[in-house]
Copies of this chain bind each other. A is one copy, B any other.
């Protein structure tokens, strides 16, 4: 039987900034490309870009059109293939609803972040992928806002690098490492 699918969401609201204030971050072209390519490489089925700002949605639409149908698609077909995974939504609720329709299951939302002490282990999360469609949720800026952690959703343990106190991975790198730990085929 096919494993239930995996989707990711990159959240631009609600996010905290460096002072801990609630903000909407700007969508960046590079996040879209990097997350789409990494997701395609690891067999992730959907990449949800979450932003409630209509102007930002229009900007993302233009970028996606260029690479999926415009000049970019013929220049770099591999890029086009990856960007087909990207779906623009206004909220996490919309992402969950869409992913439920596609996967045919109630999705399992899992929050990530550098400060997620006490979260479930990568090993346990990997096991659970056999049972339920996953939506792995990443923040931008200085991270997902606290109210998202008050929903009772599962939290994934943070990546620990060399084990000292420095832990400031770009979301592009953190997502790549997490997908490799959860979905990578290579024996360790």
Residue positions of A touching B, CB distance < 8 A? 30, 33-34, 37-38, 40-43, 78-79, 81-82, 122-123, 157, 159-164, 166-170, 172-177, 179-181, 183-188
Is the Cβ of B183 less than 8 Å from the Cβ of A161?
yes
Report B-chain residues with C-beta under 8 Å of the C-beta of A175: 173
Please give 16 more A-B residue pairs, beta carbons under 8 A apart, in addition to A40-B166, A41-B166, A122-B188. A38-B170, A40-B168, A159-B184, A161-B184, A161-B185, A162-B183, A170-B172, A174-B176, A176-B176, A176-B177, A177-B177, A180-B180, A180-B181, A181-B186, A181-B188, A188-B188
A70 CB to closest chain B CB, in angstroms? 18
Docked Cα-Cα span, A124 to B173, in Å, equals: 23
How many copies of the chain does the oligomer comprise? 2
Report B-chain residues with C-beta under 8 Å of the C-beta of A172: 34, 170, 172-173, 176
Docked Cα-Cα span, A166 to B181, in Å, equals: 18
Report B-chain residues with C-beta under 8 Å of the C-beta of A40: 166, 168
Nearest to A161 among chain B residues (CB) is B41
Report B-chain residues with C-beta under 8 Å of the C-beta of A169: 37-38, 41, 176
Docked Cα-Cα span, A168 to B157, in Å, equals: 27
Is the Cβ of B177 less than 8 Å from the Cβ of A37?
no
Report B-chain residues with C-beta under 8 Å of the C-beta of A179: 161
With A173-B37, A188-B122 given, is the CB distance from A42 to B162 under 8 Å?
yes
